[in-house]
Amino acid sequence: MTRSRHWRNNLIGYSFIFFPFLVYATFVLYPVFGTLQLSFTNWDGFERVRHFVGMANYVRMWKDPFFLKSLYHNLIWILIGTSLPIAIGLPLAVILWSGVKGFQAFRTIYFMPLVLSSVVVGIIWGWIYNPVFGIANEFLRMIGLSSLVRAWLGDTSTALPALIIAAAWQYYGFCVIIFLAGLQNVDISLIDAAKIDGASSLQRFFYVIVPQMRNVLTMIILYTLIGGFKVFDLVFVTTQGGPAGATELLATYLFKQAFQLNYVGYAAAMAIFLAFLVIAVSVLFIRLRERVA
């Protein structure tokens, strides 16, 4: 009787697991294995026969200067795009947490950009950076810095930083909300003790508050790292990787290879590489975080 009851309980548990796993396998695992299979072919998306080419697509990636340039841009995006919203969001969250009047209103205002889709954000910032009527250039003219006026998204030296700023604007509100949630677990008595010991506001921030926010910081950094590798819509709506490939990222270059040039096998190889890169960076960051802790 005991074994029969134990078997029935396990069957009920497995039944709850089976259907979510079936959905996951259908929409995640099956496409991943299909993409892996395509990465070893030279399929163009139309032919019925897919010719096996082995590791040729993976070798081709490292000989492709445009792929290497896209990878370099992605690394820049990750380094700056990860640190910038956190550098903005954490101080803002601490200020709001300290008891600023209008807390609810500010929290809502900061979070609003995240509600917008990346396509809408791209259109908005395309207007801001417009060289003719954009707010950015109008502001520079207004304060007497007309020499800095330029086509922000048409200049190879400013296009990528301009898009990173737009992405940080959209994402920093998420950081504020998550940090506010994490600040609820900060030990106030440690802050009071630091005040008594004569610690300044900056010292209390860096030596008392930030150490207690380690787990929250880990989650946000990991989330932004993964998001940095997947950036597509914001870039595609605004510059489509231009000018002259100055904003080309792995996702946009992969899209062009697959759906514009019909190199589906090559694009599949880049997709597999991108997936393994995300996993490797995530695991490496978690391991380093565990050692520091």
Q: Give the whole-angstrom CA distance, residue 13 versus residue 24.
A: 17
Domains in the chain, ordered, with CATH?
65-292 (1.10.3720.10)
Structural tokens at position 195 = 């005040």
pLDDT in tens, the chain (293 residues): 556 666 666 777 778 888 889 999 999 899 999 999 999 999 988 888 889 999 999 999 999 999 999 999 999 999 998 889 999 999 999 988 887 788 888 888 888 998 889 999 999 999 999 988 899 999 999 999 888 899 999 999 999 999 999 999 999 999 999 999 899 888 889 988 998 888 888 899 989 998 898 889 888 988 888 888 889 999 999 999 989 999 999 999 999 999 999 999 999 999 999 999 998 988 888 888 777 65
Q: Are 93 and 179 in contact (CB under 8 A)?
A: yes
The reported pTM is: 0.89
Q: Give the whole-angstrom CA distance, residue 118 versus residue 230.
A: 12
Structural tokens at position 237 = 């709506």
285 contact partners, CB below 8 Å, separation of at least 6: 221, 222, 225
